[in-house]
Amino acid sequence: MICTTPYELEILRQELELAGRRVVFTNGVFDILHAGHVTYLEAARAMGDVLVVGLNTDDSVTRLKGPTRPVNAEADRACVLAALRCVDHVVLFAQDTPIDVITTLQPNVLVKGGDYTRETIIGADLVEGRGGMVAVIPLVPGRSTTAIIGRARS
């Protein structure tokens, strides 16, 4: 399922809560999906019953990464993520951070990649304050969207 509105996200939260599911949330740009992303998403999914992936909209990617990004449009990125067996739901967000999604979804587990620390993860205090946990998954060495784009351009 791909959620594009706050209303759809609230309905999803209610359904997962009623079902008693352990919800894992992560987010990112996922511009050019590679093996590092897949490994990361599979590890995140293993931490709970349901994996919800927050996906930056095209406008927010451009603000964060610059005028040449994203390479792939948000609809395409969402479609590819939603097709992965380990991803249960994709939630698009237009802000620069996923704090509104985290606030609404109220995940049990918040996950980010190894280029973050617990202190730099947006929403960590919120999740831990509700009794949830925050996890950092190590990056897969040599896997980087920026590097892939650089190689393609040269």
Instruction: Give me the CATH number covering residue 105.
Output: 3.40.50.620
DSSP single-letter state for residue 140 = P
Kindly report, residue by residue over 19-73, the tens digit of the pLDDT: 999 999 999 999 989 889 999 999 999 999 999 999 999 999 999 999 999 999 9
Residue 149 has a pLDDT of 66
Q: How far apart are CA 115 and CA 26, in angstroms?
A: 14
pLDDT digits (tens, 9 = 90+) for 60-113: 999 999 999 999 999 999 999 999 999 999 999 999 999 999 999 999 999 999
Work out how many domains the chain is built from and give that number. Answer: 1
pTM for this model (two decimals): 0.93
Neighbours of 53 (CB within 10 A): 29
Q: Give the domain extent around 125.
A: 2-153
Quote the CA–CA distance of 42 and 19 in Å, as a whole number.
22
Q: How confident is the model at residue 3 (pLDDT cuts 50, 70, 90)?
A: confident
